[in-house]
Amino acid sequence: MTAGGTYGSGGAPAGWYPDPQNPASQRYWDGARWTEHTAPGSAAAAAPAGGKRTGLIIGLLVGIPVLLVVIGILAAIAIPVFVSQREKAQDTAAKADVALLGKEVATWYVDNEGGPPAVTVSGGEYSVDHVAVGPVSPNVQLGGITATGATDWCVWVTNPSGAQRDFEYSAQWGLSQGSC
């Protein structure tokens, strides 16, 4: 309030407020200055500047729950998508590993005769007949190999973190989901 008894420009809206000269009563503010009209005081009346604070408090009380609901909805959408993409990435790692092993086993049969080659894991690397052929992807585990000859063999891996988990590569069908 200025020395002349008025609020600055852009002040409170017109209405009844505590009288600045007698807080026990109310005085009417016309939007630009105090009038001569007074009334008995009321505990429910608010100071002119309090209107903006009340609006801010109401805005926060309504806005924060709405914001939390929006965040919850976004999380409900994003988390399953993230988990699904992570599972697909794990499946892709298993497919890449079994494709590498399948190519190496097929190559072994072209260059060698006899029973199946030994397919093993040692030191984080796959080996086909004791020759290192590539690294093991995270979470991927060698399932094994079954074989009776160059046209009847199958090698498979598993990834417990994937959606489909097991992938095989065989002489007959190439890369597919499942285990030998």
Q: Among 24-28, 48-52, 97-101, 125-129, which stretch is predicted with the lowest mean pLDDT?
A: 48-52
Q: Given this model, what pLDDT does residue 47 score? A: 45
Whole-model pTM over 0.75: no
pLDDT in tens, 106-155: 999 999 987 889 999 999 999 999 999 999 999 999 999 999 889 999 99
Give the containing element (helix H, strand E) for 105.
Answer: helix 50-111
pLDDT (mean) for 2-12? 53
